[in-house]
A and B are shown apart, each in its own frame.
Chain A
């Protein structure tokens, strides 16, 4: 990885250098091309100038020849006619020729050969002009014959021929130079454009390559920067993981395949007591009790085949030889697929172990404690039975005495007691009767709690009618109307208990009516799936909803004993009895609107027997 990174870095540095080099080469090439094309264009200019000069020389030379010829023609005309008009070209030539000659001299200044020819031409022209002047003068002074004599010497003709020869030489040379100059010019022009185009193409090519390389280099640098960011993030993550490992409560230990400790976090320091610098480099066996050394062999064996060891509960030693209960998880550390070591996470489970042991002990003693508790409960039950016996037997004896003797007193000594005395005796009797009722109800209630109530199919109709029979005296006395909505359902219940419950329900229904009004009671049943609900509705004084929760409690009396006599146990018996048979009770009522009490018991599907 490291190697690869340095390689790419070097490659990247090389490419930058190459880019610069290429740019330099491109620059040099452009300069060279510029220089070459400059030189070519200078050559072209020079060639052009040469060509131009050659043209001028040729034209001047022809001009000189034409002037001389014109002058001679004019002289001949004058000689023949004597008319001075013919002398105009001669006079013109005399004036113009020196200028032309001078121009020729200037134009041919850099060519000695031409210069010499121009000098020769100059002399020949002077001589020719002198010969012409001589003939003209001779004609004018000595007549035409004198002049012809001069002409007939042929000197003028010879001069003219020589002039023609010299001018022809000059023109030939210049024509030759002109042809050469034109060739050079074409070549130089072509060369110059070749150089320019080539240099341009080269420059474009090199620049393109350099640009491409530069872009690649920039991209590379971007990639490098991204890689750096990634590297930084990775390092940050590594640091964070390291912090987590370091601060873990669990011991996190690294070891190689020989069981030599390679890392040791703070959790390990805390659990095993060795500091990191003490533990690293030591064999892992420093924390393994001698009798458990084979465990480590097994763990290492599994590790070599790449297997984990999960939540293995064992015991290790601290530096001070104290055993610690731990849960071990050993996972292999791989490098390119090869297992090179292991990371061990050890959790201190001493506390948990202790809790488990406590729990186990508790469980072991549970049966014992249950038996003990059952015995205690049985004892309490026996005591309760004894109490019940005492209540039913002993508490009622004094009541009988109170009742009996108070009555005996009233009967035997009534006259002596007087009205007040008789009233007192009556009160004693009434109190005794009330106390007796109370005791009977309490006994019934406590019996409900303890007796085993085996449910059997019972007809609610039978129970209700039997209960009404039992209450016949009361019903008659109060002028009550009872309305049974047949058929009533069948329930699973303990018949005597249900009888007791329903009797209490009905007795309450006729009891709590407003003075001067006759009780009207309606009884019906309602099937509610798996249960059957028996409703008893009265036209009584009703119960405020805030007392609904209280009406089924023992001794919960909502009314004064004077107005509505009762022990306050009847409805408690209704609830306890129903609940003991697996049922529920409830009431719906508002003051002044009567009350609807209900008991709900498991429905019986059996049609016969009760």
Chain B
């Protein structure tokens, strides 16, 4: 699942995912509130068939309504989703942001590269590591979808 408000970034990330040729679908939400609603399975996201729980969350920090930190804090506080790996993918290279993200429970912190090739490489590495290599936590919801 990608939590990203910038439609350009969304499009480019989707393109990178497409180019990386992952089998898993990529769910996209565009702000913090939506992310929480999705993960909580609230209202429009109640249908877990259509909106399954992700196996990896790519989280931007600067989001409308609720920030990435809010979302991260919420995730780590809700038993059903708290083990989900969260990779922060943001533009900020500020060290306070980085430390804060780890403190809030981020599993990784990545800076969005400007060059598309770099983004592609990053997405490929991500998939290789988090989806193919990494041994994920126990699935809380048996009907969960990947990403």
On A, residues with C-beta under 8 Å from B are 385, 388-389, 392-394, 396-401, 403-405, 407-408, 429, 432-433, 436, 440, 443
Q: Please pick, from A404, A407, A429, A433, the residue contacting B8 in the complex, using a CB distance under 8 A.
A: A404
Chain B residues in 8 Å Cβ range of A389: 92, 94, 97
By CB atoms of chain A within 10 A, which of B9, B97, B114 has the most?
B114
Chain A residue at minimal CB-CB distance from B16: A404
Q: Please pick, from B92, B116, B119, the residue contacting A393 in the complex, using a CB distance under 8 A.
A: B92
The answer on a CB contact under 8 Å between A400 and B93 is no
With both chains docked as a complex, state the minimum distance between the C-beta of A69 and any C-beta of chain B, in angstroms: 185
Knowing A397-B8, A404-B8, say if A392 contacts B91 (CB, 8 Å).
Answer: yes
With both chains docked as a complex, state the minimum distance between the C-beta of B84 and any C-beta of chain A, in angstroms: 24
Query: How many residues of chain B get a CB closer than 8 Å to chain A's CBs?
Result: 21
With both chains docked as a complex, state the minimum distance between the C-beta of A569 and any C-beta of chain B, in angstroms: 15
The answer on a CB contact under 8 Å between B93 and A392 is yes
Chain B residue at minimal CB-CB distance from A435: B114
On B, residues with C-beta under 8 Å from A are 6, 8-9, 11-12, 15, 61-62, 90-94, 97, 112-117, 119
With both chains docked as a complex, state the minimum distance between the C-beta of A473 and any C-beta of chain B, in angstroms: 14
Bound CA span A429–B115, Å: 8
Bound CA span A443–B114, Å: 15
Q: In terms of DSSP, what is the predominant structure of the interface of chain A?
A: helix
Chain A residues in 8 Å Cβ range of B91: 392-394, 396-397
By CB atoms of chain B within 10 A, which of A401, A408, A432 has the most?
A401
Chain B residue at minimal CB-CB distance from A400: B114
The answer on a CB contact under 8 Å between B93 and A397 is no
Chain A residues in 8 Å Cβ range of B62: 393-394
Bound CA span A368–B112, Å: 45
The answer on a CB contact under 8 Å between A392 and B114 is no
Chain B residues in 8 Å Cβ range of A401: 6, 8-9, 12
Chain A residues in 8 Å Cβ range of B93: 392, 440, 443
The answer on a CB contact under 8 Å between B8 and A400 is yes
Bound CA span A388–B93, Å: 10
With both chains docked as a complex, state the minimum distance between the C-beta of B123 and any C-beta of chain A, in angstroms: 12
Chain A residue at minimal CB-CB distance from B8: A401
Knowing A401-B9, A405-B8, say if A396 contacts B112 (CB, 8 Å).
Answer: yes
The answer on a CB contact under 8 Å between B116 and A404 is yes
With both chains docked as a complex, state the minimum distance between the C-beta of B91 and any C-beta of chain A, in angstroms: 4
The answer on a CB contact under 8 Å between B114 and A388 is no
The answer on a CB contact under 8 Å between A396 and B114 is yes
The answer on a CB contact under 8 Å between B112 and A400 is yes
The answer on a CB contact under 8 Å between B92 and A403 is no
The answer on a CB contact under 8 Å between A404 and B92 is no
Chain B residues in 8 Å Cβ range of A436: 114-115
Known: A397-B112, A400-B116, A404-B15. 17 other contacts (CB 8 A): A389-B92, A389-B97, A392-B91, A393-B61, A393-B90, A393-B91, A394-B91, A398-B8, A400-B9, A404-B116, A405-B11, A405-B12, A407-B117, A408-B15, A433-B114, A436-B114, A443-B93
